[in-house]
Structure formats: C-alpha cells, structure tokens
Structure 1
Amino acid sequence: MSYNKSFYVFQETTPLPVTIRNYRVSDIPEMIDIQRECFPPPFPSELLWNEEQLQSHIERFPEGALCAEADGRLIGSMTGLITQFDPDHPQHRWEDVTDHGYIRNHQPDGNSLYVVDISVRPDYRKYGIGKWLMQSMYETVVQLRLERLLGGGRMPGYHRFADRMTPEAYADAVMKGELRDPVITFLLRCGRTPVVVARDYLEDEESCNHALLMEWKNPFLST
C-alpha cells in the first residue's frame, strides 16, 4: 500500500502546495538533514537517524515511512511500526519498542501503529505540517484496521519544573492548561490523548528522560 496526498497550506495568504508520500532510498540524505535541524544539542546526536535505520524503515514497513515535501525539498517526516500493545502493561522504553530505531521487531499482525519519530523543519512548523503528518498516520491506522496510534511524547519543558514537580504532575498541569509544553500541547491539538507517563523512556535531558505515552484510537473499531 503506497501513500500519496497533495494539498495546500498557507504562508499568510499565499497557498503553498505540499505532498505527503512514502519516503524512498533517494530521500535518505534529506531525512538525516531534517533530524539535525529538528533536534540540536543537547539532544543526543547518536539518537538521530542513520542510513541503516532509514533503509530498514523502507524495507520492513514502507507504509509507516512518510515524508512531507514542499518547495522542491523534504520539510518533514514521520515514521511508525506495528507492535502489540497491552494496555494493562503500558510501561516501556523507546529503544525496546522501536529496536533502537531499526524496527526489526515490526509485527505485521500487531494491534497498534507506534510512532517512532516525527520531525518538521523549524521554518515550516507554523504551517501545520506536523498535524498533516499525524493525520496521515491516522489514515494509515484506519486503512490497516489497527486499534490505535500510539507513541511517547517528549516533555521538553519538564526540566524547568523537575525540582518541584513529578513528571505526572507536570503532565497533569499541561492537560489542565496551567502549563504549555511544546510537544505535549501539540499532540493534544492533533487529537492524541494521554495514557501514562513512561519513566526512563528515552535519553533526553530536557524531559529528564520521561515521556507521556499518548494514543489515538481508531473510531471505526471503538465499542
């Protein structure tokens, strides 16, 4: 199943054509460049995509390998894999569920589409590209008849409050609108809902290694 969708976003009053499609081997250099732009230090450089990981995404689950293209170049990407999620045992680490980003543990018969990564070049973030990528993954969930889209949201604002708030209290304050977090607030705006705080989820200084596990349930399978 291939994915290709074209639409317009707006630069103030000027329409900008954008295409979301599956990324290919020829896109790998630009995919790596996007990550460098999106995750500067102190984000660990060893967690940025490498060529072998991206090759694995394309070979093992091309349906979950999406990129956004505009102005003749790639401006964003989103990657997922299928996994078997047990809501009664939600705690996990990013490196375990994604096979350190190589997705060799992709389970075609699993029940959930797991977000490995989403990235949008900073210059294009005000155009809603991240929301469009997320919507495209929701469509993939529906097409594949999976139960949910699932993933851990970084909490990059948490380090400013870690000396006086637990990660659960911080996430709760964001949910109540008392605080704003760049990632969690964005995911809420995209329709994701919280599941649980995942501790020791990812080496991430800004989030103090925590993340908020969030999901979007397939409305066509809800009971």
Structure 2
Amino acid sequence: MYKETLSSGIIIVPMQQEHAEQLEALQRIVFPNLAEEELLHADQYKKHVELFPEGQFVALDGDKVIAATSSIRYHFNLNDNEHHTFFEIMGGGWFTTHEPNGEWLYGMDVSVHPDYRSKGIARALYRARQYTCKQLGLKGQMTVGMLNGYAAVSDQMNIDEYYKKVKNHELFDPTVSVQEKVGFEIVGLMKDYLNDPTCGNAGAVIVLDAGKAI
C-alpha cells in the first residue's frame, strides 16, 4: 500500500471509506464558493474508493483528514480540449465517467485544510497521483486548474486576458501558477467549467507527463 510520511509527521495514504464524513466536511472548508452540486459528499467518496481505489488519496494528521485528492482514468486528447463542465466530468459527483482503460489520470480536486497549507502537502498528493500513473502505465496527469486569482482583477480584464497573462507568466495565479511549479504545463482554457465567480467560472487545462519527477 502506498505511504509517504512527510517531515511534519503528516502521512499520505490511499483513501478509505471510513474517511468519507471527514472528506465531505473538508470540501466545505476548502471550497466555500462552490455550488452545492459541485461539492463532493460522503456517499460519493465511498463510491470513488469502490470504483477506482488507486486514484484516491488522503493526508492524515493522526486520524484527522487534513487534505485529499480524487481522480479518475480518462481518455484525453491533448490536441482537442473538448469542452465539458466540472459537474459533467465528475459524473455529478459519482465518478461514473471513470474509464477503466483511460490513458490519463484526470484529477478532480486537491484540497488542503487552510491550517495545513504551505507545508508541501499538495505536492505530496500530486506525487502520490504520479505514483499511480507509473504503476498503471498512464501517460500522466491532467486536470482543469481553477483560476482563483481572477476575482482580484476581474474589473480590469476578462477571463481570456487573465488566462493569457498567467500562461505568459505576467501574472501569478494562486492555484494554476503553483501547479506549474509542481511541473504541470498549461495547454488550454476551459470556460464555463464550474459555478464559482472567484475564478470567472473558468479553469486552465494542465498536464503533467508521467515521466516527470515531483
């Protein structure tokens, strides 16, 4: 079983069904502006573990769930970023979109409790996902990173302009620019992806090759 112990004592391990209630509570803390139907709930987490256990990880401080990541396998064409919404891609939260033979690991979310940020936990979760990619022979990870810095400048530019500035490293986005530092590459813009004004309802399509070390 995968396990990484960080210098802080936090451990990264595969998600279990008994973590479900804590995971739902964590969602509400980390994503306060997400629409209710886009939040993940306890029963759904239990289903994720049943469907694709290799793609779900938690970070624990003792018995307390303080961070997590969820993912599915997915057929993704780098040259054709076919539009979809977050609600659609996560199968309404049930991950019925999981493709057992998909060649990419599609990250649904990475959530870290505010009290535990800037401790390398998110990077460790990405590392766990990278382990899954290598174990299953996948091409790598992909996801749509929320452009959370847009709200601060939305009165100055539209989301297309903001995206270009982030991609060209003219602006630093608190989510996507950090994901770039992990090793992800920005390959596209997905507008009308979710219902969150913080990111202008949009996200950046990002990919991480399975061969990259984190």
What residue is the counterpart of 1:207 in the other structure?
A: 199
Match of 1:219 among 186, 211, 214: 211
Task: Give the counterpart letter for 1:27 in structure 2.
Answer: H
Task: Give the counterpart letter for 2:28 in structure 1.
Answer: R
Give 1:165 deviation, angstroms.
2.5
Q: Would you say 1:162 and 2:158 are equivalent positions? A: no
Give 1:67 deviation, angstroms.
0.4
Distance across 2 between alignment mates of 1:6 and 1:115: 19
Q: Would you say 1:26 and 2:18 are equivalent positions? A: yes
Give 1:57 deviation, angstroms.
0.3
Equivalent positions of 1:19-168 (< 5 A) are 19-40=11-32, 42-90=33-81, 91-168=83-160
Task: Give the counterpart letter for 2:27 in structure 1.
Answer: Q
Q: Secondary structure at the match of 1:27?
A: helix
Give the structure with the higher percent strand: 1
- Give a deviation string over 1:18-64, Cα, whole Å, max 9, x none: 21111111111111121122112x33233221122112101100111
What residue is the counterpart of 2:6 in the other structure?
A: 8
Distance across 1 between alignment mates of 2:136 and 2:66: 26
Could you tell me the TM-score, scaled by structure 2's length?
A: 0.92
* Number of residue pairs aligned between Structure 1 and Structure 2: 211
Task: Give the counterpart letter for 2:3 in structure 1.
Answer: K
- Give a deviation string over 1:150-206, Cα, whole Å, max 9, x none: 100001111233344332321232234332211112211111110100011111111
What residue is the counterpart of 1:13 in the other structure?
A: none
Task: Give the counterpart letter for 1:17 in structure 2.
Answer: G
Query: Does the 8 Å CA contact 1:101/1:116 hold for their aligned counterparts?
Result: no
- Give a deviation string over 1:95-150, Cα, whole Å, max 9, x none: 22221221112111111110011101111112110010011101111111111201
Percent identity of equivalent pairs: 27
Could you tell me the TM-score, scaled by structure 1's length?
A: 0.88
Q: Secondary structure at the match of 2:91?
A: coil
* Runs (5+) with no aligned partner, structure 1: 10-15
Q: Secondary structure at the match of 2:92?
A: coil
Distance across 2 between alignment mates of 1:7 and 1:128: 11
Distance across 2 between alignment mates of 1:62 and 1:145: 16
What CA RMSD, in Å, does the superposition of the two structures yield over aligned residues? 1.7
What residue is the counterpart of 2:178 in the other structure?
A: 186
Query: Does the 8 Å CA contact 1:93/1:200 hold for their aligned counterparts?
Result: yes
